[in-house]
Structure 1
Amino acid sequence: MENNALLGLVLALVGTTALALLLRGPARRVGLVDHPSVRKTHCTPTPLTGGIALFLAASAGLLLAAPETPGLIPVLAGGALLVGFGAFDDIREIDYRLRFLVQAAAAACLVLGADVRVESLGNLLGFGEIQLGLLSVPFSIFAIVGLINAINMLDGLDGLAGGVTIVSLAALLLAAAAAVPVLVMPALVLAAAVLGFLLVNYRFPWRKRAPVFMGDAGSTFLGYCLAWFVIALPQQAPDTVTPIAALWLVGLPVADTLATIWRRKRQGLCAFDAGHNHIHHLLQRAGFGINATVLLILCASAAFALIGLDHIFLDSLPEPYLSYLFVAAIAVVYKLLQHVAPLRRLLRGRVAEDAPNQPPIEQGAEE
C-alpha cells in the first residue's frame, strides 16, 4: 500500500508536467490555445493543456494511491464533466449561464453522488448552531459553484491560481491530518499534481513566460477539488473543523470574488463578465510586476489560511468573531481594490520627483 501511495504521488507530479508539455501539439491543432488580447498579460499564443493534464494525472494518482477514498468515483465524475466542458469553453467561449448549469451538475455529483454537503453552518452568528436541513443540498451546490468560479476568476497570471491552490491545499492537509486522516492522501496527490503544473507555468528566473496555461478546464477543476475538502472536513469532523474555519482556508479567492462582484455591481457592470478589477489586475496596474503580484497574493492567501488553522488548532477566536472578521476582510479587500493602484502611483510619483534623472519604471513590467 505504501508503494502504491508513493507511485500515485510520483504519477501525479510527473504525469502533470509531462502531459502538459506533450499535449501542446494536439492542442494547437484543435484550437485549444489562449490568444493574446487587451485584458491578458501574455503576448504569444499559449496552449491550454494544463487543466487536462492536471485532471488525468491527479485522477490516475488518486485511483492508485487512495482508491478507498469515500465517494472517489462520483468526485472524479464531476471533475471529468468540468474539465471536458472547460476544454470546450477554452476553444469556443460559452455563455456564462450554460457554464453555471454544467458547474451545478458537477457540484451535484459531489453533493448527491459522494454525499459531500454542508449540513450545518456552525455557530456562525453567535446565536447557536445553524442547521440547514432541507436547504443542505441547494446551499452545497451553490457553495461549490461559488468556489469553482472564485479560483477561475483568480486565474489571471502565471503561477497565481496554482500557487493559491497549493497554499490552501497545504492548510487543508494540516486540518485533515488532525481531523480526517482519510483525506490526507487525496490532498497530497492533488498537491503533487498542482506542483507538477507549476513546474511548467510559474515564471522562474530562467523562463520569461509560461509554456502552458491551465485554462478554464484546470481552474474550475481546482476550485471543485478545494470545495470537496472545504465541505468534507467540517462534515466529517465538526468538533475540530468548523465551517467558518474551513472557509478561511480558502479565504482569499472567496474574499476577492465577493469584493469584485460588489464593486462591479456598484459600477453598474455585470458581475459575471470578464474584467480588469480583480486584485491581481489592480496590483499590476499599481506598478507591481507579475512575480511580485503573485508573491503578494500568495502571502495574503497564507495569512487567511493561518487564521483558519489558528481556530482549528488553538481556538483563539470564537466562531462568531471569526465570521465577523471574514466580513471585515471582504471589506478590506474591497477598499484595496479601490485604493491600492492610486496609492502606489502616488508613491512612485514621489520617488520620481526625488530622483528625476532615473528612468521611470514601466507599468506592469515583467520581472
Structure 2
Amino acid sequence: MAWQMISVLVGTFVALLVAHKLAPRLGLVDTPDIRKRHKGQIPLVGGLAIGFALCSALVLMPQLIPYQTLFILSVAVLVFLGVLDDRYDLSCRSRLIVQATIAVLIAVFADVQLVTFGDLFGFGHVIFDWLALPLTVIAVIGAINAFNMVDGINGLLGSLASITLLGLSVLFALQGDMAHFQLCMLLLCAIGPYLAFNLGLLGNKYRLFMGDAGSMMIGFVVVWLLFTLTQKQTPLVTIDDTSVRPVTALWLIAAPLMDMVAIMVRRARKGQSPMTPDRGHLHHIFQRIGFDSKQTLFIISAIALFFASVGVIGEVLDVTESTMFYLFLALFGCYYWILTKIFRFTAYVRLVRRSQPQEVSAG
C-alpha cells in the first residue's frame, strides 16, 4: 500500500505542476471580482490534476472499487463539466442535468443509491421503494453542490474533504473493508499536494485553486463512498443489511451540508434563487467578524473535525440513530439561528471598531 500512496502523491504533484503551467493557455484562470478577493489571476486546475491522478490510480488498481469503469467515467465527466464551467461559466440548469444523469446511472447500473434512512426518527426503519431513485438524485446533487459552495477560501475545500475522507477511512477500516479504506487513503494523498499549492506553501507563484472540476468531483466521490458505507448495494435491502448507520453520513459532511442548506433557505426567504452566489457563507461570516483567511480555515476545519468525530464515536458506541439525528437537527437549528442574527452582530462589531480612536504614533 505504501508504494501506491507514494505514487499517487508524486503523480498528483507532477500533474499539478503541468496543469499550473498549461492553465493560462487553456483559459483556466480565476480573475478577481466583487465576490472574489484574491490578487491576480490564479489557475483553476487543482481538480483537473487530482481527477487525472485518481483515475490513473484506479486504472492500475481496479480492485479498489466495484463498478470501476462507471466510477471512472462519472469522475471524468464531472471533471470535464467542471472544466467547461470554469472556462465558459455554464448555466446552473446544464450542470444540474449532467449531475442528475450521473446520479441515475450509478443508481441503475451500480446500485449505488439511497435505499434507507435507518431508524432515523426512533419509530422504526425508514426504507424506500420507488422513492429511492429520486432521493438518490437529490442526495448526489446536494453533496456535489455542498462541497462546491464551501470552496471560498484557500484550503477550505481540501481540508473539509480530507476530514470527511479521514472519517470514512476509519469507518471502512472498522468494517474490515480494506479496499475502500485504501481508496480513501489514496484520495487523501492526492489532496495533500493540492493543499500545498493552494495554501502557497510552495510560494505564491505556484498557488492554484481547485475549480468547479475539483469540487464537483470531490462531492461525487464522497457521496459514492457514503452510499457504499451506509447503504446495502442491492434493491433487495433488508433492515439488518446496513453496516454503518445512515445517520453517521450526516455527521461526516455536517459542515458543508449545514452551510449549504442554511444559505439556500436564507436565499429562498429573500426571494432569491437558492443557487445565486453571494458572500453569506460561513467563511464569509468569519471574515466579516474580523478573522483572516487562515484563522477562518482553522476554525471551520476544527468545527468539521468535531462533527465528524461525533459521528464516528456515535457509531462506535452504538448511540441510537434517533439520538444522533435529533442532536444533529438541534445543532443545525442553533447554526441557522446564529446565521440569521450574525449579520447584525458583524455590523455591530465593525461599527464599534470604526468608532474606536486610532492610535497616533509619535514621529
Q: Taking structure 1 as reference, are residues 173 and 346 closer, same or farther at Cα in structure 2, changes over 3 Å only?
A: same
- Seen in structure 2, the aligned counterparts of structure 1 residues 157 and 71 have a Cα distance that, compared at 3 Å, is same
Contact kept, 8 Å, 1:66 with 1:186, in 2: the verdict is no
Q: How much has 1:294 moved relative to structure 2?
A: 0.8
Say whether the 8 Å CA contact 2:143–2:219 is kept in structure 1. Answer: yes
Name which of 279, 283, 292 aligns with 2:295.
292
The whole-number CA distance in structure 1 between the counterparts of 2:360 and 2:345 is: 21
1:1-367 to structure 2, matched below 5 A, reads 5-65=1-61, 67-179=63-175, 180-204=177-201, 207=203, 211-236=207-232, 240-316=243-319, 318-344=320-346, 346=348, 356-357=358-359
CA distance in 1, matches of 2:332, 2:204: 33
**Does the CA-based 8 Å contact 1:83-1:220 persist in structure 2?**
yes
Distance 1:273 1:8, change over 3 A: same
Maintained 8 Å contact 1:36/1:42: yes
Compared CA separation, residues 354 and 92, structure 1 to 2 (3 A): closer
Matched letter for residue 129 of structure 1: H
Q: Tell me the SS of whatever aligns to 2:116.
A: coil
Partner of 1:365: none
User: Deviation at 1:265?
Assistant: 1.1
Seen in structure 2, the aligned counterparts of structure 1 residues 339 and 16 have a Cα distance that, compared at 3 Å, is farther
Aligned-partner SS, 2:63: coil
CA-CA distance at 1:358 after TM superposition = 7.5
CA displacement 1:202-238 (0-9 Å, x = unmatched)? 244x745861111000000000111011111012495
Paired with 2:179 and 2:135, the residues of 1 have a C-alpha distance of 25
Structure-2 change in CA distance of 1:307 and 1:31 (3 Å): same
Gaps of 5+ in 2: 233-239
Distance across 1 between alignment mates of 2:288 and 2:216: 26
Q: Distance in 1 between matches of 2:247 and 2:40?
A: 41
* Inter-partner Cα distance in structure 1 for 2:170 and 2:62: 17
Seen in structure 2, the aligned counterparts of structure 1 residues 286 and 208 have a Cα distance that, compared at 3 Å, is farther
Distance in 1, matches of 2:318 and 2:357, equals 49
**Matches of 1:76 and 1:195, distance apart in 2:** 21
CA contact (8 A) 2:58 2:64 kept: no
Determine if contact 1:259/1:331 at 8 Å carries over to the other structure. Answer: no
Amino acid at match of 1:274: P
Equivalent in the alignment of 2:237: none
Distance 2:102 2:199 in 1: 28
Compute the displacement of 1:241 (Å): 1.1
Could you tell me how far apart the structure 1 residues matched to 2:323 and 2:23 are?
48
- 1:346, CA displacement in angstroms? 4.2
- Segments of 5+ residues of structure 1 without an aligned counterpart are 360-367
**Shift of residue 64 of structure 1?**
2.9
Question: Relative to structure 1, is the Cα distance of residues 158 and 307 closer, same or farther in structure 2, using a 3 angstrom cutoff?
Answer: same
8 Å contact kept, 1:7–1:61:
no
- In structure 1, distance between residues paired with 2:278 and 2:109: 35
Amino acid at match of 2:25: R
Separation of aligned partners in 2, 1:34 and 1:351: 32
Aligned-partner residue type, residue 194 of structure 1: I
Note the C-alpha offset of 1:126. 1.1
Tell me by how many angstroms 1:119 deviates: 1.3
Structure 2 length normalisation: TM-score? 0.91
TM-score for both structures, normalised by structure 1: 0.90
8 Å CA contact 2:231–2:242 kept in 1: the answer is no
Is the 2:267–2:274 Cα contact (8 Å) retained in structure 1?
yes
Aligned pair count reads: 353
Report the CA distance between 1:24 and its aligned residue.
2.3
| In structure 2, C-alpha distance between the alignment counterparts of 1:108 and 1:244, rounded to whole Å | 23
* Cα pair 1:124 1:244 within 8 Å, conserved: yes
Change (3 A) 1:308 1:95: same
TM superposition shift of 1:16: 1.8
- Structure 2 SS opposite 1:281: helix
Alpha-carbon spacing, 1:252–1:46, altered in 2? closer, same or farther (3 Å) = same
Aligned 8 A contact 1:54 1:218 in 2: yes
Maintained 8 Å contact 1:65/1:185: no
Helix, strand or coil at the partner of 2:112? coil
